[in-house]
Amino acid sequence: MIIINEKQKHQIGELLNGKVILVTGGTGSFGKQFIKTVLDSFPMVRKVIIYSRDELKQYEMQNAFRAYAEKLRFFIGDVRDKDRLALAMRGVDIVVHAAALKQVPAAEYNPMECIKTNISGAENIIETSLFCGVKKVIALSTDKAANPINLYGATKLCSDKLLTAANNLSGDLPTRFAVVRYGNVAGSRGSVVPFFRKLIADGAEFLPITDFEMTRFWITLPEGVAFVLLSLVRMHGGETFVPRIPSIKIVDLAKAMAPHLPQQEIGIRPGEKIHEIMCPRDDYMHTLEFDSFFIIKPTISVSCHNFNTTMLGEEGKPVAPYFEYNSFNNPHYLSVEEIAQLDGVI
């Protein structure tokens, strides 16, 4: 479990004190949880800007977040639109880039749209952050970016490489870029949990399983938010942060949600893997192991930083030769009972 201790909370508070934060894709599952957590736990933040393209979601979020209205600003805009991004980023200190097209089958059938948002959008984030003097940019990635076999994963890998290399563009500017990579978010919009939940509510006779052997990394929204906040403080610039999180078997998830329903294997979807990877074997020589997370160092020279020590003072060490961190070989699996106990998921 990813928990922010009191010392870390103080260090995050020092970073956020008086700062203006912009969250792309701020009306999504992560964005809403991130913003609520920041405003509840770090009231010294000066302002949070929600940048997204859906006016209805912004309207709904304004109503739901009325208690925070004094510190919230809403910008309708698309990460594809660099001019609009530049307007939104004036005076911004920290950017959390969560906007993406992330549905795997949709990306397979609409590759150009995915490329425009995930790759061209990342390029626009980089250029406008540099232009506007943003101090820190942290981008959300995905386990599908590790050894990608689908278009979505490939675009996120490209985005990650762009953000890593962007640290070489900063020069004497203060802007630094880093990436956070993690697995399936329990209960997020578009994930398997709400899909199963709807089938159960509609009286389905069985739950469809794409493959009975399928495993996934599993993280809750609050844990994802906590890890991003910690990574903002830990980052030098150029790192990919990977949390140590449990795996689940999809058949166990189905059993936890509907023990009374049979399961039926239906075959994997376009671009889908049986198991996911977060630290590929081919990157083992760049991977550092910490107590609760990994850092994948940039493969190119981006700075003279010692990535073995984070800005929080945590010490890491190289992983063993040919190390790979995937959802199948992960030593920590959640049992059916543990999955059922996850707050807000089942």
Residue 332: CB atoms within 10 A of its CB come to: 10
**Axis crossing angle, helix 151-165 with helix 121-132, rounded to the nearest 10:** 20
**What is the secondary structure of 120-173 as a DSSP string?**
IHHHHHHHHHHHHT-SEEEEE--GGGSS--SHHHHHHHHHHHHHHHGGGT-TTS
Give Cα 241 distance to the centre of its chain: 10
Q: How far is CA 316 from CA 72, 146, 239, 307, 312, in A?
A: 37, 21, 13, 8, 12
Helices H / strands E in the chain, number of each: 12, 17
In sequence order, what are the beta bridge partners of 325?
A: 279
Six-digit token string for 237? 């610039």
Q: Residues 16, 19, 23, CA angle at the centre, nearest 5°?
A: 90
**Axis crossing angle, helix 29-41 with helix 221-234, rounded to the nearest 10:** 70
Contact 146, 194 (CB under 8 A): no
- How far, in Å, CA of 200 to CA of 324, rounded? 36
The catalytic position among 19, 32, 36, 144 is: 144
Instruction: Specify whether 32 is catalytic.
Output: no
Residue 128: CB atoms within 10 A of its CB come to: 24
Q: Residues 48, 51, 55, CA angle at the centre, nearest 5°?
A: 120
The catalytic residue positions are 144
